[in-house]
Amino acid sequence: MPKEKPELSDAMRKKMSGKSHEKNPIIGTKFTIAISSAKGGVGKSTFATNLALALKNIGCKVGLLDADIYGPSIPKMFGIDEKPKTDGQKLEPINKYNIQCMSIGFLADQQTPMIWRGPMVTSAIKTFTQKVNWKNLDFIIVDMPPGTGDTQLTFSQDIKMDGAIIVSTPQEVALLDVKRGIKMFDKLGVRILGLVDNMSYFIGDDNKKYNIFGKGGVRKTAEEFKKEFLGEIPIDPEVGKSGDSGKPIVETNPDHEISKIYINFANKIKSTYL
């Protein structure tokens, strides 16, 4: 006969929920905002970089932490090809576009795979949150990896997370993972600021709207989980070109319609916290 599973003590339950000990803020920052999805390929890094720049453009002091150890994107999207300086105790964030940045991609060749087990990932995350000399930031934007694994648990259980924005395409297969991510953050006590429908539609040369990945799925998910729906971001080739060139669209063309969408998101965040 199968053995009965032992009952969890109250202490163990609290530990699993991330509430067994006080969560520490990232030193040098006021508010930590995670950009997450639990699904890859939905534009989290594009969103994180442009949101960070939008917050800077409205007068906030901003940091950008690339927490995707296995697939860092910030070095490419910000056009950074240098290693951070260190005094032997702490790493200095690399300043680009007046944003303080840190990524595992700054410490290793971009084509080198990070073949690491969970404890090594956790150690790297703790280095970025405890041993980087972040300076007087209003916000640090954290570009989270896909999934609901070690990185998400480390942040949610150990770091004072002030909010998370969930980014997804409206496609059902993406929303399956998004729903898991929402439940994870709810279980771990992280406030979800809202959901964003990214790559929501495409306007063709005929000025018609094409819903390539479906329509309304993110809004319906927000309603299902009683979260705020923050809005839609359409597909625009200029966004991809800007990111690939290391010059995100909010930086190169702040008057672009999509840049204005990011500025709107930034104003909502600023008014919520500052």
Are 143 and 48 in contact, with CB atoms under 8 Å apart?
yes
Written as six digits, the tokens of 49 are 């970089």
> For residues 236 and 252, what is the distance between their CA atoms, to the nearest angstrom?
15
State the pTM of this model.
0.88
> Can you list the positions of beta strands (E) in the chain?
29-36, 62-66, 94-96, 99-103, 137-143, 163-168, 192-203, 209-210, 229-235
Domain ranges of the chain: 27-273
pLDDT at 249: 98
pLDDT < 50 regions, the chain: 1-20
d(CA 190, CA 12): 19
Give the per-residue pLDDT at 122.
84
Distance between start and end Cα atoms, the chain: 58
Give residue 110's pLDDT. Answer: 67
With beta carbons less than 8 A apart as the criterion, state whether 192 and 186 touch.
yes
Predicted local distance difference test score (pLDDT) of residue 164: 95
Which residue bears the tokens 């995350």? 125
Under CATH, which number does the domain 27-273 receive?
A: 3.40.50.300
Question: How far is residue 142's CA from residue 145's CA, in Å, rounded to a whole number?
Answer: 9
Taking alpha carbons only, the member of 100, 128, 127, 124 closest to residue 114 is: 124
H or E stretch at 179: helix 172-187
Packing angle, helices 118-130 and 150-158, rounded to 10 = 40
Tens of pLDDT, residues 211-244: 988 899 999 999 999 999 999 999 999 999 999 9
| pLDDT of the residue at 4 | 45
